[in-house]
Amino acid sequence: MPGSASNTCLGPWPKDVGIIAMELYFPSQYVDQAELEEFDGVAAGKYTVGLGQARMGFCSDREDINSLCLTVVQRLMERNSLSYDCIGRLEVGTETIIDKSKSVKTVLMQLFEDSGNTDVEGIDTTNACYGGTAALFNAVNWVESSSWDGRYALVVAGDIAVYATGSARPTGGAGAVAMLIGPNAALAFERGLRGTHMQHAYDFYKPDMVSEYPVVDGKLSVECYLSALDRCYSVYRNKIHAQWQREGSDKHFSLDDFDFLVFHSPYCKLVQKSVARLMLNDFLKHPSPDTEAGPFAGFDAFRDVKPEETYFDRDVEKAFMKASAQLFETKTKASLLLSSQNGNMYTPSVYGCLASLIAQHTASQLAGQRVGLFSYGSGFAATLYSLRVTQDHTPGSALDKLVSSLTDLRVRLDSRRKMSPAAFSEIMKLREETHHLASYVPRSSVEDLFPGTWYLTRVDDKHRREYARRALDDELPAEPELVRTASASEHIPSPVKKMPRMPTAVAGPVAGPGATSSN
């Protein structure tokens, strides 16, 4: 059973360490990208076709990084009927910094008070959109280490992505993902298969401590993202080849060996280009590609291209996007549901894409599959790694429960309120002017939040923040103390399948608009 030290060890490691459960949170309001195009006075299709974005979620002044993470953690614990004393490590990945010293993790410890559990390792990790992945690796490494005490690890990735008025603003978004980590997981990490690339660049960064807005070099950011993808794929491929050779196989690795591919998604069009990019890598590394038939037909002219010279080569991009279209449709497109409908969540982005993939497949379709994940954070840091889905998809299995818990994703997205671009613009202006203030009481309505959402009530004159939680409806216990106590060695019960729908109240007026970054 996940979390049990007594029966999960295989050699020196617990067996199949990975993701057991997931929970998502995104704001209850969004702006339509087609309407935003008109409001911003840009050409129709610039955001919807050029970026591949349909809607963008955003937060009012009632929400900050602490409230987002409080919401998603409590939601995961309630939906899986878990007690807080079964968590031994809590890691947070975020780049939404509201305090240069106090971690988000320490704020989350409020949820643990009634359980009496203060023996919880871990702290915040920050590097643009990569922080969530670093936190996840830390959690997995803890479970596989001599420090593990048999309890679960909990990883939280959360961010509010906002940009100053201009061309980058449509690539914003907001949300949080919580992941329960332990042995016998539905999604197990493939041990030894991580390809990482780290390099110094000023493609996207936040030097202004007073502003939520980043400094962005859009073209450089895309180049860094694609170059990191090239390097990580090369390292991953070398490592899996080495594994296969030790097993006596001389098989050549290609994209065909990934059943699904999931990417950090600054905007959906870049993900589609990334699939094409990996096909280019396969083509260039293939010892003797067939350019007469098959996916590489007619590609003789590209045989000697240098990858570092093709980041903005339209001929190469067009040819390989066309050649990889079917691969994108079958392996990646389903993962972009949340990204297209909510926008870039920064650290949770790649995990929102993973959840989207799971939400749109059955347990039997996912069983036994290899999922490749590419995580990128500007500055920059990147890793390509893989998860193996368990073969067991029987009713009540870990995989069945994970899939069931995410099947309502589209319903939840459709339950949000649509806000006008003018109202969105006013909210952005309000956040810009107030997010750093002391002695501040938020102005937006609490009733516009999803039931069960934590929200900011006030910031006192010493910048101390206070929070409350909007009541849940009757579908879930109203308070955490009503949740059944479970030891880490017990099976996680089937999650509640229905999420409370959003209230129908319409929000008051609020604010507008948006270089494209790959943070």
Q: Which residues are catalytic?
A: 95, 129, 264
The first and second tokens of residue 190, run together, are 């493939």
* Residue 33 belongs to some domain of the structure: yes
Q: Indicate if the pLDDT at residue 279 is higher than 90.
A: yes
Q: Say whether the peptide bond before residue 380 is cis (omega within 30 degrees of 0).
A: yes
What does DSSP say about strands 370-377 and 260-263: parallel, antiparallel, or unpaired?
A: parallel
For the ranges 10-19, 393-402, 476-485, which has the lowest average pLDDT?
476-485
The identity of residue 268, as a single letter, is: C
Q: How many independent structural domains does the chain possess?
A: 1
Q: Which residue range is the domain that position 174 belongs to?
A: 16-468
* Residue 483 belongs to some domain of the structure: no
User: How far, in Å, CA of 105 to CA of 69, rounded?
Assistant: 9
* Residue 118 belongs to some domain of the structure: yes
Model confidence, pTM: 0.89
516 pLDDT band, cuts 50/70/90, is: low
* Residue 512 belongs to some domain of the structure: no
Residue in 184, 187, 180 with CA at minimum distance from that of residue 87: 180
**pLDDT tens-place string over residues 71-97:** 999 999 999 999 999 999 999 999 999
* Residue 278 belongs to some domain of the structure: yes
* Residue 283 belongs to some domain of the structure: yes
* Residue 313 belongs to some domain of the structure: yes
The predicted pLDDT at position 517 comes to 67
The predicted pLDDT at position 12 comes to 66
294 pLDDT band, cuts 50/70/90, is: confident
What separation, in Å, do the N-terminal and C-terminal C-alpha atoms of the chain show?
Answer: 37
Which parts are annotated binding residues for CoA?
221, 269, 273
Planar angle of CA 112, 113, 114, nearest 5 degrees: 100
3-state secondary structure (DSSP) of residue 366: helix
Say which CATH number the domain at 171 has: 3.40.47.10
* Residue 282 belongs to some domain of the structure: yes
Which parts are annotated binding residues?
221, 269, 273
Q: Indicate if the pLDDT at residue 518 is higher than 80.
A: no
User: How far, in Å, CA of 254 to CA of 223, rounded?
Assistant: 23
